Amino acid sequence: MTYSKDFAVKLKSSGYKLTPQRRAIISSILSSERSLTPQELHSSLVEKHPQIGLVTVYRTLELLNRLGLLCEFQPQGSARSFKAGPAEHHHHLVCRGCGEVVDFTGRCPIELKTSLERETGFLITDHQLEFAGYCRNCRGK
């Protein structure tokens, strides 16, 4: 919540301005515990800030993401969405039926499949684990 400060500081220290639009977008992201798609974010903003364009939302998300302030989700078969927080690590549980995404970041091992099923009532049919980074060739930039 008071992350807000971090966002502002990081933006400024990286040479970017904290415009009203960016402020609105950031505050909207921070006040949602769910991750939001660009569209959802835009819709939620239009009420109070009718003039904000979807394009600006995309550009801001791209910027914040690049600065490491956002966590980008893209579960198989679902829309791309973002939430506040560092990006290095997130886990989700997706419903292939209704698309619900349950975030369980913080818990790791794959053995938790069974306990997840017990706790959430999900019937888990498959999973996907993705590590990302830089390969031997790309490491040295």
Binding residues: 89, 95, 98, 127, 135, 138
**What whole-number distance in Å separates Cα of residue 83 and Cα of residue 106?**
15
Distance CA(76)–CA(3), nearest Å, equals 29
For 69, the 3-state DSSP assignment is coil
Q: Which stretch binds DNA (CB under 7 A): 16-24, 103-111, 116-124, 133-141?
A: 16-24
The residues in 48-67 that bind DNA, with binding defined as CB under 7 A, are 51-56, 58-60, 62
**The entry of a second copy, DNA, none that residue 56 binds, CB within 5 to 8 Å by partner kind:** DNA
Return the residues of window 78-117 that contact a second copy according to CB under 8 A.
87-98, 100, 108-111, 113, 116
36: β partners? 82
Q: Please give the radius of gyration of the chain, using alpha carbons only, rounded to the nearest integer.
A: 17
**Cα 131 from chain centroid?**
17
Burial class (CB in 10 A: 0-12, 13-18, 19+), 35: buried
* Interaction partner, residue 29 (DNA, a second copy, none; CB < 5-8 Å by kind): none
96 binds DNA per the rule CB under 7 A: no
Closer to DNA by CB, 8 or 54: give it: 54
Chain contacts with DNA (rule: CB under 7 A):
16-17, 19-22, 37-39, 51-56, 58-60, 62, 79-80
